[in-house]
Amino acid sequence: MLDYTLRRLVYTLITMFAVASILFVLFRMLPGEPTMQVISPAMDAAVQERMKEAFGLNEPLWKQYFIYLKNLVTLEWGRSFVSAQEVTDILSYRFWNTLLLMAAGMCLTLVLGIGLGIVMAWRRNSALDIGGTVVGLVFQATPPFITGLLLLIVLSYRLGIFPTGGMYPPGQRPDGLFDLLMMPAFWERIVLPTITVGAYYISTPMLIMRDSMLEVLGSDFIELAKAKGLKPRVVMLRHAARNALLGVVTISGIMIGFAVGGQVVVESLFSWPGMGQLMVESAASHDYPVAQGTFLMLAMLVISLNFFTDILYCYLDPRIKITAAGMN
Amino acid sequence: MLASTASRWLHTARLGIGEHYRIIQSNPLSRIGFRLIVVFLVIAAFAPWIAPHDPWEMVYDKDGQFASLRPPSWEFPLGTTHLGYDLFSQLVLAARTTLVIGAVSGIISILIGANIGLIAGYYGGKVDEVLMRLTDILYGMPFLPFIIVLIALFGRKLEFVILAIVLIIWRTSARVIRAQTISIKQRQFILAAKARGASDLRIIYRHILPNVLPLLLLYAAFNIAWSIITEASASFLGFGDGETISWGGMLYELWLSGKTRVAWWWFAAPSICIVLLVTSLVFVSRAYEEVANPRLRKR
């Protein structure tokens, strides 16, 4: 177990390093001035020169690469072209907002999805089972921006039940997480983006839970439990669902990793001040230090999630090596 | 001799098509899905002849009035945009873009994914290690952000959208096909082929490939569906090809115009098409899933 964890940790670090290197290459392939990605052309010449020095842009490419890696590790991620703020400062605020929304969306997805999956398998071929499968597949086929737009048009624009976006009303910036969580206006605003995220991903835990439940339900010990005269509820939850949960655990980790990338759409649609929205805004305005930093941060989040999934899965079921199926 | 080989090959191919037809027909959902896909393909093929206007042509109604933000009517079956573009024409022409992107990136990515999965699974050892670490790296890439970065750096071009999709999307098919290959390569008939002295390539492509084919087709369908969703999402965020009309791009223009509150028809047409097409693909893939994964079959 420890051996496996260490090996995974090394792989994870290699992956992070590789992603950072790919990003370096991409930004250096940029047409035009090589300094463009860290130094705003709008700054005056003396400042530009000083920054070139700081980022080692007068050095040969291989040296620049090492300076880039060193800056990554020491959290010298540059400043925004637009607001001149430190990229790390911007990200440290945005990071939690993204995490908050993702946590809400994934809780909804997992709780509802697993619950429905259990009931669907238990009542196989019932209207709920067949209907649930079809609805799940349709949700899976609906890109989040369409679900989000639909919710906005119907529930916000037409019926006016929910605010159209943001995380809190303009001008009422809360101090700290606790303050934010105590705001009713925040809870009003998190509903639609949460449903949007949840709807797209729900079919994954639901259908996988259903399928692995069906497999477990076919095994002898379930027959035995039933024969012992245990209540159906007990057999369903304590015996079958518990054993079927394993498959969902792995897929969930990978799903959450994929959902990180999907944040981009939901946050842009609902003006949620997270990293996804920042990614779109900075890329559209060619604010390269922010775009690069945000991409790295999102990638680190995905990579760490993959690492924890691997470890958790190995802990839960040491027999099996990790494979991801049925997701992207 | 040659003729008999050819006829035997033709016979196998026909059997193959019959088999796929049977799989698709076996399930009511995939039957509907398959028909819808055919309809979309026909529309895409004849798009320039079906569409009455250019996608970005300002249209006037029969009284000579500028047709801006018209709801659906006999004259403009799906309505018009605020700049007076005919949405029906845009929708029909965009079908082509979407299907081409879906098909091209879906097919290229499954070719890459299948080959990497087969080779990694068959050879094992160092080869497997290297290829799987490569796959791990791609699993660390957030998909949409990667496309956004690529497009922001190199420009809003169709090629870059396809390239970005292909570069990432093969990862899942590679992992899944590798796992399947590993389980197949230990079976008797593979060991027998080895004992006969069959070459590695022959074993991989003649003996293992046919056995992973249902899985491969399943992931081909998934890859196409994911490509379409991804392209639409990227276009909606303004990171699609700026010069080709696409369904996601139509919704991007709606969002930019600020008319989302009023122009429900502008939202409805492209959204319904995206959902219908992807749902059809998912339905068809579900039929293949039952073949690839027999425990899903109805007992």
pLDDT in tens, A239-270: 788 878 877 887 888 888 888 888 999 999 99
- Mean pLDDT in chain B? 85
Map out the domains of chain B as residue ranges. Answer: 2-118+139-176+211-296
pLDDT in tens, A215-228: 888 888 888 888 88
**What residues of chain A lie within 8 A of the CB of B229, using their CB?**
141, 143
Bridge partners, A79 (sequence order)? A86
pLDDT at A316: 73
Considering only the beta carbons, identify the residue of A14, A291, A306 that sits closest to B133: A14
Is there a contact between A137 and B286 if contact means CB atoms under 8 Å apart?
A: yes
Question: Does residue A34 surpass a pLDDT of 80?
Answer: no
Question: Among A38-52, A135-149, B196-210, where is mean pLDDT lowest?
Answer: A38-52
Is there a contact between B153 and A29 if contact means CB atoms under 8 Å apart?
A: yes
Query: DSSP assignment of A134-153, as one string?
Result: HHHHHHHTS-HHHHHHHHII
Considering only the beta carbons, identify the residue of A138, A149, A214 that sits closest to B267: A149
- Mean pLDDT in chain A? 83
- Tell me the CA distances in angstroms from B134 to A220, A253, A259, B174, B239, one per residue in order: 41, 19, 21, 11, 26
Question: What is d(CA B260, CA A150) in angstroms, rounded to the nearest whole number?
Answer: 10
Is there a contact between B279 and A141 if contact means CB atoms under 8 Å apart?
A: yes
Query: DSSP assignment of A64-129, as one string?
Result: HHHHHHHHHHTT---B-TTT--BHHHHHHHHHHHHHHHHHHHHHHHHHHHHHHHHHHHHTTTSHHH
B151 and B161 Cβ atoms separated by less than 8 Å? yes
Those of residues 57-96 in A touching chain B at CB distance below 8 A are none
Question: What is d(CA B270, CA B95) in angstroms, rounded to the nearest whole number?
Answer: 9
Question: Does residue A103 surpass a pLDDT of 80?
Answer: yes
Is there a contact between B261 and A211 if contact means CB atoms under 8 Å apart?
A: no
**What residues of chain B lie within 8 A of the CB of A30, using their CB?**
153
Two structure tokens written together for A216: 């477990």
Is there a contact between A279 and B172 if contact means CB atoms under 8 Å apart?
A: no
First CA to last CA distance, chain B: 45
Task: Give backbone dihedrals phi and psi of A160, rounded to 5 degrees, phi first.
Answer: 65, 25
Those of residues 109-168 in A touching chain B at CB distance below 8 A are 125, 134, 137-138, 140-146, 149-150, 152-153, 157
- CA A223 to chain CA centroid, nearest Å: 40
Bridge partners, B58 (sequence order)? B85
Rg (C-alpha) for chain B, rounded Å, is 23
Is there a contact between B140 and A16 if contact means CB atoms under 8 Å apart?
A: yes
Task: Give backbone dihedrals phi and psi of A79, rounded to 5 degrees, phi first.
Answer: -120, 150
pLDDT at B298: 47
pLDDT band at B294 (very low <50, low <70, confident <90, very high): low
Is there a contact between A328 and B143 if contact means CB atoms under 8 Å apart?
A: yes
pLDDT band at A327 (very low <50, low <70, confident <90, very high): very low
Searching chain B, which residue's CA lies closest to the CA of residue A156? B261
- As annotated, the residues of chain A forming the CATH 1.10.3720.10 domain(s) are 88-327
pLDDT at A33: 55
Searching chain B, which residue's CA lies closest to the CA of residue A11? B133
What would the mean pLDDT of A48-64 be, rounded to a whole number?
A: 73
Two structure tokens written together for A257: 């990793």
What would the mean pLDDT of B262-270 be, rounded to a whole number?
A: 87
Q: What share of chain A is helix, strand, coil (3-state, %, to 5)?
A: 75, 0, 25
**What residues of chain A lie within 8 A of the CB of B133, using their CB?**
11, 14-15
Q: Among A239, A47, A216, A214, which Cα is nearest to A121's?
A: A214
ipTM of the complex: 0.86
**What residues of chain B lie within 8 A of the CB of A28, using their CB?**
none
pLDDT band at A326 (very low <50, low <70, confident <90, very high): very low
pLDDT in tens, A148-166: 999 999 998 889 888 888 8
pLDDT at B277: 94
Closest CA of chain A from B76, distance in Å: 23
Query: DSSP assignment of A186-253, as one string?
Result: HHHHHHHHHHHHHHHHTHHHHHHHHHHHHHHHTSHHHHHHHHTT--HHHIIIIIIIHHHHHHHHHHHH
As a dihedral over the C-alpha atoms of residue A167, residue A169, residue A173, residue A175, rounded to 10 degrees, the angle is: -70
A251 and A305 Cβ atoms separated by less than 8 Å? no
Those of residues 225-284 in A touching chain B at CB distance below 8 A are 254, 257-258, 260-262, 264-265, 268, 276, 279-280, 283-284
Question: What is d(CA A47, CA B173) in angstroms, rounded to the nearest whole number?
Answer: 49
For residues A40 and B123, the model is more confident at B123
Instruction: Classify burial at B173, counting beta carbons within 10 Å of its beta carbon; exposed 0-12, middle 13-18, buried 19 or more.
Output: buried
Question: Does residue B270 surpass a pLDDT of 70?
Answer: yes
Question: Does residue B57 surpass a pLDDT of 80?
Answer: no
Is there a contact between B140 and A299 if contact means CB atoms under 8 Å apart?
A: yes
**What residues of chain A lie within 8 A of the CB of B171, using their CB?**
328
Those of residues 184-213 in A touching chain B at CB distance below 8 A are 211
- Which of B27, B138, B146 to mutate to probe the A interface, most A CBs <10 Å? B146
Question: What is d(CA B214, CA B220) in angstroms, rounded to the nearest whole number?
Answer: 10
What would the mean pLDDT of B235-239 be, rounded to a whole number?
A: 91
pLDDT at B297: 52
Is there a contact between A264 and B148 if contact means CB atoms under 8 Å apart?
A: yes
**What residues of chain B lie within 8 A of the CB of A291, using their CB?**
148-149, 152
- Residue B66's SS3 state is strand
Q: Residues A56, A60, A64, CA angle at the centre, nearest 5°? A: 45
CATH number for the segment(s) A88-327? 1.10.3720.10
A304 and B202 Cβ atoms separated by less than 8 Å? no
Q: What is the DSSP letter of B86?
A: B
Report yes or no: A169 at the B interface, CB cutoff 8 Å.
no
Searching chain B, which residue's CA lies closest to the CA of residue A310? B136
What would the mean pLDDT of B111-132 be, rounded to a whole number?
A: 93
